[in-house]
């Protein structure tokens, strides 16, 4: 995992958009925004599955599935889906992703400055985004990712695109309130 300020330079969303002159962000800095990050290496003796099972038990995740995002797996829907994933949105539930293969980027909005923070994820990275955080997702130039999604209840993925309504969404408000001690709210 690598996290840094998104450079906002026009161009393909699948490019790194990284200004190497700026420092990278640490996992501690990401945790200040409510993110949880772990690296659980994919190995051949299935220890990663035990680690995921333990995490699921600790955080009350009851369901999971595996999603492949690629031109081959999604066919004609690929480009449209990638645009949907990259549109700024929030969820009313945590978004939990464990990367099994491939690579991509989660971008989160820094609440006080509104700038994007890009988080590069690859095989073995587990990322938990809190409910109410504005974010988006895209693949990298490899155009492929296989990820396990974990859910507290029935699997669902309902994005709420950023608007004045989502700014007032109770999950958004609760998220910003949870940051007050460490980050000034918008």
Distance CA 44, CA 78 (A): 30
The annotation status of 89 as a binding-site residue, yes or no, is yes
The annotation status of 91 as a binding-site residue, yes or no, is yes
The annotation status of 17 as a binding-site residue, yes or no, is no
Q: Where are the beta strands (DSSP E) in the chain?
A: 2-5, 36-39, 63-70, 89-90, 95-109, 116-122, 125-129, 135-139, 144-151, 160-161
Asked if residues 125 and 175 have their Cβ atoms less than 8 Å apart, the reply is: no
Asked if residues 92 and 131 have their Cβ atoms less than 8 Å apart, the reply is: yes
The annotation status of 95 as a binding-site residue, yes or no, is yes
* Overall size of the chain counted in residues: 186
Task: Write the CA distances from 94 to 79, 102, 130, 141, 171, integer angstroms.
Answer: 25, 22, 5, 26, 10
Task: Write the CA distances from 57 to 35, 60, 151, integer angstroms.
Answer: 18, 5, 11
Residue stretches of the annotated binding site for Ni(2+): 89, 91, 95, 135
Residue stretches of the annotated binding site for Fe(2+): 89, 91, 95, 135
Residue stretches of the annotated binding site: 89, 91, 95, 135
């Amino acid at each position: 995992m690598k996290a840094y300020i998104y450079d906002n330079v026009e161009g393909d969303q699948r490019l790194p958009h990284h200004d190497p002159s700026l420092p990278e962000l640490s996992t501690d800095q990401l945790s200040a925004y409510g993110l949880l990050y772990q690296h659980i290496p994919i190995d051949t003796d299935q220890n990663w599955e035990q680690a995921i099972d333990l995490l699921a038990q600790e955080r009350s995740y009851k369901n999971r599935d595996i999603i492949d995002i690629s031109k081959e797996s999604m066919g004609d829907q690929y480009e449209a889906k990638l645009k949907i994933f990259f549109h700024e949105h929030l969820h009313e539930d945590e978004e939990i992703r464990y990367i099994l293969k491939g690579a991509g980027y989660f971008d989160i909005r820094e609440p006080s400055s509104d700038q994007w923070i890009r988080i590069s994820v690859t095989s073995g990275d587990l990322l938990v985004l809190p409910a109410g955080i504005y974010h988006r997702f895209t693949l990298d130039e490899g155009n492929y990712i296989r990820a396990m999604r974990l859910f507290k209840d029935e699997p669902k993925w309902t994005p709420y695109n950023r608007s004045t309504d989502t700014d007032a969404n109770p999950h958004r408000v609760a998220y910003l309130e949870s940051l007050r001690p460490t980050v000034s709210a918008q």
